[in-house]
Structure 1
Amino acid sequence: MNSRFLVIAVAVVAVIVFGAGAWVYTQQTPEPASPVVANFEDAGYVRPHSFVIGPADAPVTIAEFFDPSCEACRAYYPIVKQIMDRHPGQVKLVLRYAAFHDGSDEAVKILEAARLQDLFIPVLEALLARQPDWATHEGPNLELAWQVAGEAGLDVARAKQDALRPGIIGVLNTDMADVDALGVVQTPTFFVNGKAPTGTDPQNLADLVASEVAAQ
């Protein structure tokens, strides 16, 4: 899910879904929802190291497997924020890595190094905003990615040293192991309280989140 067409489609659906109604941008066969899993960590949906956006005690958890280089992940970022804003205090987003693209493992290390400087969100949003510049189809420009992170406030010299830490490499390895175990094959892939949306339309995700919030 990393074509330029998909990005344009998701951008359109972001307007339509949250304005005039639902709009399906793919015709994939819906997959049945996964059963609720009581212990997300045991199931591999979240891990103690996972970065969380939103209240830690929120009853509804969106686990998103994303790739910093993925165009669709970039397009989905504001959509997920809109969904969360519809349910203040009820939903948290847990970010997991699925480094499928060339160079994405390095981008993950940039994000984890930024996390050590309490700059995860600013650096994430900067990398997504400038993604067309550094994550090109011709090949990633990782030095530019580091530069973008620096412009977001990251101490790049320190971060490049931190990126070599075994703990950061372990985060990436654990997430990729969970990617394999859960059968994640594309980004972004979402699970809500252990359930998969019935399709890839953003409205499917919004409906599942609303259903889980209502069930609390």
Structure 2
Amino acid sequence: MKKQYLVITSGLFLVFLFVLGGYFYKTQQTKKLGFLAQKQTEIFVRKHSPTLGSDKAKVFLVEFMDPACETCSAFYPFVKKLMADHPGQIKLVLRYAPFHDGADYFVRILEAASKQGKYMETLEIMYQSQPYWASHHNPQPQLVWQFLPRVGLDLEKLKNDMNDPEIDKIIAQDLADAKTLNVMKTPGFFVNGKPLVTFGDRELQQLIESEIAEQYPR
């Protein structure tokens, strides 16, 4: 009985150490990223990064996204609602982390669409039509083209602009920044440099509202 008690106690102690270690690691990561946000702001926001929201906003929501990511698509309406609930206070910055096979193809479409001033419209139609072309078992990227005319794009120009070598540089830079920031999956969120440590819509809302309260004291 005593031996069994010692085994249980030892097991609980190991669990405690594991949880404590995880908490310590997350705390250190948050501090490290906070330092990067202060000293190297460009690692979060590059000149090429698409943005949505007021330039006067004090809360920057940086999202590392993959156009073929189902969770990114699911979170997009929630992010837009958060922005609508706090008008003028949040600026969304989109960064690329095309981790799915062939996802860089859709990044090319987005970047080409931006040359026609249709970036956000194209992103939204991609997310809306994602179930038709982004099956993880049998992705069919060519199917996205049947939805793009709804945005009013010049498709021939789009196809030409997709081959711009600058897009390769953009993808490479964003992936390098994602690696530095330890983004392992999408979407990866940062609010004024603070990472969303525990993933979830409620947690994201709490992090954003906490930063809003700090930046816009009443």
Q: How many residues align?
A: 187
Q: Share of identical aligned residues, percent?
A: 43
Q: Is 2:201 the counterpart of 1:192?
A: no
**TM-score computed with the length of structure 2 as normaliser:** 0.81
Matches within 5 A, 1:80-95: 80-95=79-94
The one-character-per-residue Cα deviations of 1:72-130 (angstroms, maximum 9, x if unpaired) are: 00100011111112211111000011101111100000000010000111111101000
Contact 2:188 2:196 in 1 (8 A): no
Structure 1 equivalent of residue 38 of structure 2: 38
The one-character-per-residue Cα deviations of 1:58-84 (angstroms, maximum 9, x if unpaired) are: 100000001000000010001111111
Report the CA distance between 1:197 and its aligned residue.
Answer: 2.1
What do you get for the CA RMSD once the two structures are aligned? 1.6
Structure 1 equivalent of residue 60 of structure 2: 61
Structure 1 equivalent of residue 177 of structure 2: 178
Structure 1 equivalent of residue 167 of structure 2: 168
The one-character-per-residue Cα deviations of 1:157-207 (angstroms, maximum 9, x if unpaired) are: 111110111212211111111111111111101000000123112111111
| Unaligned segments of structure 2, at least 5 residues | 1-21
Contact 2:66 2:72 in 1 (8 A): yes
Contact 1:40 1:194 in 2 (8 A): no
| Unaligned segments of structure 1, at least 5 residues | 1-28
The one-character-per-residue Cα deviations of 1:15-52 (angstroms, maximum 9, x if unpaired) are: xxxxxxxxxxxxxx77437233225534x111111000
Q: Is 2:147 the counterpart of 1:148?
A: yes
Cα distance in structure 2, aligned partners of 1:197 and 1:94: 15
Contact 2:61 2:90 in 1 (8 A): yes
Q: Is 2:105 the counterpart of 1:109?
A: no
Cα distance in structure 2, aligned partners of 1:201 and 1:90: 21
**TM-score computed with the length of structure 1 as normaliser:** 0.81
Cα distance in structure 1, aligned partners of 2:125 and 2:100: 18
Cα distance in structure 2, aligned partners of 1:40 and 1:153: 38
Cα distance in structure 2, aligned partners of 1:109 and 1:151: 18
Q: Which stretch shows the higher mean deviation, 164-173 or 94-103?
A: 164-173
Cα distance in structure 2, aligned partners of 1:51 and 1:40: 19
